[in-house]
Each structure stands twice: as structure tokens, then as C-alpha cells.
Amino acid sequence: MTAAIAVLIAAVLILAALAGLRLMNSPRTAVAGNLLLAGCVVGALLTVLAQADRSHLALPLAAVAAGGLIGLVAALRVRMIAMPQMVATLNGLGGAASALVGAVVLAGAPPVAGSLVSAAAVAIGAVTLSGSLVAAGKLQGRLASRSRVLRHHPAAMAVHLLAAAALIAAAPVAGERTAVVAAALAAVGLAGGVLFAMRIGGADMPVAISLLNSLSGLAAAVAGFAVADLLLVAVGAIVGAAGLILTQIMCRAMNRSLPQILSGLSPAAPGAAPAAPPAAPPSEPAEGDETARIREALAEARSVIIIPGYGMALAQAQEAVKALADGLERRGKEVAFAIHPVAGRMPGHMNVLLAEVDVPYDKLLDLDAANARLGATDLAIVVGANDVINPAARTAEGTPIYGMPVLSAADARRLIICNRDRQCGYAGVPNPLYDRRDVLLLIGDARASLATLLDLLDGPVSGASGTAC
């Protein structure tokens, strides 16, 4: 294959990748966009293999086959609830690949520019690898999910940045010690990734995932410069830009700046959050037990907004949520879903889970649209969500969620919360809604609680295990 043909194919693949990203903007076309992007990856691999020396194709073909098989098995075996962990792991593997490419090129003693770029690929790739593994460990529960900040954390980060910069600058003049420089860069990068990721936790995890995705793209683009591959540069740049845009979207959704999140500073300065509405005095429970009150709320509601959260994902209760929505609609009730941008552990987590059970896209309301409707809604049903409905975000200064826009679930005429317990959410901030007597609580597994709601909707409770309290 000539260089001109390779460049032409690369241009076509880049345009196709951009089209695929655009298709993924909507759940209606996301599957087509994903397939198009997968086709672009296959095309890129074939283009690279076509340019390789045919006498040395055995190892690249074996690597492609092994990687494809591992990816297929992982995609089939990983549950949807574990998808954020898988995304974080894939980000890390992308960073590792870029770091290895940079190290190999650096070992060949390239010119000054090549040495600098290769060294940068090693550093950025190592940061991405270790940071992504820490994020995956937090998401999987292998590591504590809370933010951990060392006593001199900013100073440690500054030292690592200076050390990485010094090693990158030393790469062109390292001579026979190039391997030592590469190893030192990898070590510094791995330590820097751990320092970066360990301080991000709680409500900030979606930001960490999208930022690490951006870093994996940046590492790939830098590695592309190191090997003079236009296609790798372009694809890495696309991934890096897309991840950075998503990071900014997540930051806006949380009313936080990226420097605040990365530095561990207080989420918002006093006065930055909207004024908290005056707290309504808790009303006395209606006559009868909690079960009767829930049945009454379900029967009398004409409009219902369901608010899913990570608890729904953890219990794999999306099918039960769809069944409840269908049951409500069969009784002539208007049903919609309120989706907070950072509900779950990665951007779009709730959208993916609801799309999996064929919830129509036009029933999914974003934060602003949902809050505009909640005040006129007869009933809001929260399924496993905590931080994204916590009104303390408007008042609890210095907490991880302070200043974050939340869903105004309490504005609905009636509110049912289905959660496993009354404990704090992922951000570690108590939710005052649990102490309000006018809020109806169903404590227990989400699927069991949803079964209780379905039975109450149909009539007398028949063996559901959710416990009203």
C-alpha cells in the first residue's frame, strides 16, 4: 500500500469516526454510532497491517486476534452495572499501550523532537494507566471510594510534575541511559496517576472517568507523533477532545470547576449555591399505616416522575422500573423519567440502563426539564438515588455536593423514596429528606421495593418483600 493511499484511507476513517461520535449523541442512534466506530477501528487495524512487512505479520496478527478475543469475552461477561469499571480499565490499557510505544521509540535513540515526544507518551500513558486502575478499584469496591488527600498532596503533585518534566527534557541527551530514563518516567507517571485518582471520589467519579478517557486519547495522539502515524494522531486527538468536552459537561452539571475537583478544594465558595428554600415543617403522617399511604399516592397520582439512581443499577432493577412505568401507564397515568447528569458512576449510566429495557428516549428528562415539571407532578418515585436529590447540596457548605444542582424531588406533591437504607449516599452527605414525615420510604432492595409498588398498584400486597417504614 502506497503512502498516498494510506493517507486517503486515514482521512476517510477520521471522517467516519466523527460521524460515529455525532450519532452517539442520541440514544436513538447510539448503537449505529458505536457500530460505525467499531468499523473504523477494524479499518485502522487493516490499514496498519497492510503497510507492515509481510514477513513479520505473524506477531501483529496474533496480537490482534488475542486482543479481540479478550475484548469480546470481557464485553460478553461484564454486567451492565460493571460497565464504568470496564471503561476505566480500557482507558488504562490505552494509556499502557501508548506508554509502551513511547518506550520502544525512545529506546531507538530518535532525534531530539522524537525523544521528547516519546518521553511524553511514556509519562502520560503511565499516568492514565495507574489513575484508571485506581478509579476502577474504587468503582469495584476494592478500594475505598471516598477521597483521600495526603497531608502535603499539592506539593507531592507538584514534585511529580517537575520530575516528569525534567526527565522528558533529559531524554534527548540520555544516550545509553535512555532505558533508565524511560523506566524512571514510567515510575513517576504511575505514582502521579495514583496521587491524581486517590483524591477523587464520591460525586466526582463521573468527572474522573471522562477526564481519564481524555488522557488516554492524548497519550495515543502523542504516541502517534512518536511513530509518525497520522491516523493515530487524529484518532487520539478525537478521543482526547471528546473526553475533555464530556468532562466540562460533567463539571457544569455539578456546578464545579475542574481545578476545584482536581485540587480537592471546597466544592463551592459561600454564596455560590442557590439559596435554599425555607424548610417545610414535617407534616404528621396521614391516617393509616405507611402501606395505605403509598397505595393512596399511587392511586391518586395522574402524573408520575421516576428518578433512577445507582441503587437501581446495583440491584439490576431497570426491568422492574420499566414494569412499574408500564403498569402506571396502563392505568392512564403520565410517566416520565428524570435523569441527573451524574447519576451513576459514569456519564450516561442511567440512560444506558433504561435504554437496555426499551424505555423510550422521549420519556427521559434532563435536569432542567425535570425540575421544571416536578413542581406540577403528583408523585415522584425515587429508585436508588441519593446524592442527586439531596437538598443539602444547597446548604451544606464544604461537602462534596455543595453547589451541585440537584433534582427537586421534594417539589412533587408526594414523594416515595425506595432505597436500601437511610445511610449517606456515595458522597457521604446525610439526606434530610429521610427525616421528613411527609416522605414515604420503602427500605430494602430496589427490586423488592418495586415489586411492593406494583402489588400496591394492583391491589393488596401479595408477598412482596419491600418493607415500608
Residues identified as active-site: 387
DSSP annotation of 305 reads E
Q: Are 354 and 308 in contact (CB under 8 A)?
A: yes
Q: Which residues contact 262 (CB under 8 A, 6 or more apart)?
A: 196, 199, 200
Q: Which residues contact 310 (CB under 8 A, 6 or more apart)?
A: 343, 344, 345, 349, 384, 385, 426
Distance (Å, rounded) from C-alpha 387 to C-alpha 343? Answer: 8
Helices 58-77 and 30-51, interaxial angle, to 10°? 160
Q: Which residues contact 244 (CB under 8 A, 6 or more apart)?
A: 211, 214
Q: Are 211 and 243 in contact (CB under 8 A)?
A: yes
DSSP annotation of 256 reads -
Distance (Å, rounded) from C-alpha 297 to C-alpha 294? Answer: 5
Quote the cell numbers at residue 146.
471516598
Distance (Å, rounded) from C-alpha 341 to C-alpha 137? Answer: 22
Quote the cell numbers at residue 103.
518506550
Distance (Å, rounded) from C-alpha 406 to C-alpha 81? Answer: 23
Residue type, 352: V
Q: List the strands of the sheet with 303-308, edge to edge.
A: 364-365, 334-338, 303-308, 379-383, 414-419, 439-443, 467-468
